[in-house]
């Protein structure tokens, strides 16, 4: 099931400057794995060393934060829009190697 | 409220408010009696302070320890070329008072820390966060929760902006959204990050209008909702924000009860 994934500008270098990409999967975990397959390196930006999603990056399915749904097991279907929304502070961003 | 409370000049100055349904003379009086603190007189704080002054906010506090630099002028509209090198708070005060002498400007040329923040924000009705770094944002959030202050939050990065209102008890706080700041290693120096000139004007004026709505108690403030603006796509989106029952600061059993000075990890101030 293809879903569209919105990429924030700090991560767009990894997606060849695309702000919106398509990925497959039946839940958020699978979608993010498919993202890593297509755009290697993105997973490292989203997950910490323990394999959990970083605390200053939120993932939304449509308008809802997946932390208040089923987390990474949140089911997705055709037409859903997934958004990756990092904390931004002003002049600063939060991903290394830009 | 009778119009007699206004001077002749004020009746003309605020005429467009006074004739406006849901604002009127009563609303204008309320604005003149309100106190808004602008934290950071930069890209966001400049337009916010300037418009709030025009609208007749009675007391505007401005905290910023910086001086005006030529690279600020691309977006920080409170300052002129002649102000380069002056303290931002002094220059901001001059700009505001020459726009509207009704406004009392309180200047704080200092760095916000766990030591001084409570004392500074205590006297204000609304706190407008226009800072450029994570440590201060977390400090402001936590202090606003502890002192029960409304925090109008705006942030920008390159071509994108974020806006929301954190109202203690009624909605989530910054830590419900992002429990902890990113570790210093994840953040490159400030100088690397650019910002499109007009973008802070969009987000800063949205912060100002949220402040007006909150003071006037009109409309629906942006509580529990995160507004995302993408200038390149000309797109506004809204995400739902929820209170985290395990929030370290605003939940029933907070684990953070004292203010934290996080390590400053941006540019020269390390
Ligand atoms: Zn909270």
The length of chain A is 98
Residue B5 within a domain = no
pLDDT at B64 exceeding the cut of 90: yes
Q: CA-to-CA distance for B67 and B96, rounded, in angstroms?
A: 17
Answer yes or no: do A68 and B158 touch at CB < 8 A. no
Q: Does A48 touch chain B (CB under 8 A)?
A: no
Residue B191 within a domain = yes
pTM above 0.90, yes or no: yes
Two tokens at A16?
A: 């060849």
Q: What digits encode the pLDDT tens for the residues B106-158?
A: 999 999 999 999 999 999 999 999 998 889 999 999 999 999 999 999 999 88
Assigned superfamily of A2-86: Beta-grasp domain (3.10.20.30)
* Confidence at residue A11, expressed as pLDDT on a 0 to 100 scale: 87
Residues 96-125 of B with CB under 8 A from A: none
Confidence of residue A94 (pLDDT cuts 50, 70, 90): very low
Q: What digits encode the pLDDT tens for the residues B232-246?
A: 999 999 999 999 999
In chain B, how many domains are there? 1
Residue of chain B minimizing CA distance to A92? B190
* Confidence at residue B158, expressed as pLDDT on a 0 to 100 scale: 87
Closest by Cα among A86, A81, A85, A84 to A22: A81
Percent of chain B with pLDDT over 90: 86
Quote the minimal CA–CA distance from A98 to chain B in Å. Answer: 8
Average pLDDT of span B187-214:
85
Which ipTM score applies to this complex? Answer: 0.90
Q: Does A89 touch chain B (CB under 8 A)?
A: yes
Q: What is the overall mean pLDDT for chain A?
A: 89
Q: Does A2 touch chain B (CB under 8 A)?
A: no
Average pLDDT of span B4-16:
93
Answer yes or no: do B162 and A88 touch at CB < 8 A. yes
Contacts across the A-B interface (CB distance below 8 Å): 98
CATH of residue B206's domain is 3.40.50.720
Partner-chain residue, chosen from B132, B160, B233, that has the shortest CB–CB distance to A91: B132
Q: What digits encode the pLDDT tens for the residues B76-94?
A: 999 999 999 999 999 999 9
Centre of ligand 1 from the C-alpha of residue B46, in Å:
28
Per CB-CB distance under 8 Å, the chain B contacts of A87 are 134, 155, 177-178, 181-182
* Confidence at residue B4, expressed as pLDDT on a 0 to 100 scale: 54
Q: What digits encode the pLDDT tens for the residues A36-64?
A: 999 999 999 999 889 999 998 999 999 99
Domain that holds residue B153: 34-265
* Burial of residue B22 (number of CB atoms within 10 Å: 0-12, 13-18, 19+): exposed
Quote the minimal CA–CA distance from B262 to chain A in Å. Answer: 14
* Confidence at residue B133, expressed as pLDDT on a 0 to 100 scale: 86
pLDDT at A65 exceeding the cut of 60: yes
pLDDT at B28 exceeding the cut of 50: yes
Residue B60 within a domain = yes
Confidence of residue B181 (pLDDT cuts 50, 70, 90): confident
Question: Residue B127 in contact with residue B39, Cβ under 8 Å?
Answer: yes
Residue B230 within a domain = yes
Residue of chain A minimizing CA distance to B204? A90
Answer yes or no: do A68 and B242 touch at CB < 8 A. yes
Between β-strands B160-166 and A20-24, what pairing exists: parallel, antiparallel or unpaired?
Answer: unpaired
């Amino acid at each position: 099931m293809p879903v569209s994934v919105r990429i924030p500008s700090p991560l767009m270098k990894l997606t060849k400057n695309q702000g919106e990409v398509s990925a497959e999967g039946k839940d958020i975990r699978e979608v993010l794995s498919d993202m890593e397959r297509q755009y290697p390196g993105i997973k490292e930006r989203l997950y910490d060393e323990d394999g959990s999603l970083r605390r200053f990056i939120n993932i939304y399915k449509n308008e809802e934060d997946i932390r208040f749904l089923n987390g990474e097991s949140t089911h997705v279907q055709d037409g859903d829009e997934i958004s990756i929304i990092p904390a931004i502070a002003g002049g600063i961003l939060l991903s290394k190697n830009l | 409220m009778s119009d007699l409370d206004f001077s002749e000049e004020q009746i003309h100055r605020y005429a467009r408010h006074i004739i406006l349904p849901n604002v009127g003379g009563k609303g204008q009086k309320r604005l003149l009696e309100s106190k808004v603190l602008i934290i950071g007189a930069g890209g966001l704080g400049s337009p916010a302070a300037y418009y709030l002054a025009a609208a007749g906010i009675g007391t505007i506090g401005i905290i910023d320890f910086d001086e005006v630099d030529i690279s600020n002028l691309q977006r920080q509209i409170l300052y002129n070329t002649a102000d380069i090198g002056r303290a931002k708070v002094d220059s901001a005060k001059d700009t505001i008072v020459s726009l509207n002498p009704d406004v009392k400007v309180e200047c704080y040329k200092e760095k916000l820390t766990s030591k001084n923040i409570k004392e500074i924000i205590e006297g204000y009705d609304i706190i407008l966060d226009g800072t450029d770094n994570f440590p201060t944002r977390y400090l402001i959030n936590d202090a606003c929760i502890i002192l029960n202050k409304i925090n109008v939050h705006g942030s920008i990065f390159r071509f994108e902006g974020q806006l929301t209102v954190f109202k203690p008890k009624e909605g989530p706080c910054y830590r419900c959204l992002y429990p902890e700041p990113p570790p210093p290693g994840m953040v490159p120096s400030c100088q690397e990050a650019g910002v499109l000139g007009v973008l802070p004007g969009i987000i800063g004026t949205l912060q100002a209008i949220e402040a007006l709505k909150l003071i006037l108690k009109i409309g629906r403030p942006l509580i529990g909702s995160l507004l995302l603006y993408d200038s390149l796509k000309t797109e506004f989106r809204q995400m739902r924000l929820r209170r985290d029952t395990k929030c370290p600061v605003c939940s029933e059993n907070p684990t953070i009860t004292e203010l934290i000075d996080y390590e400053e990890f941006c540019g020269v101030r390390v």
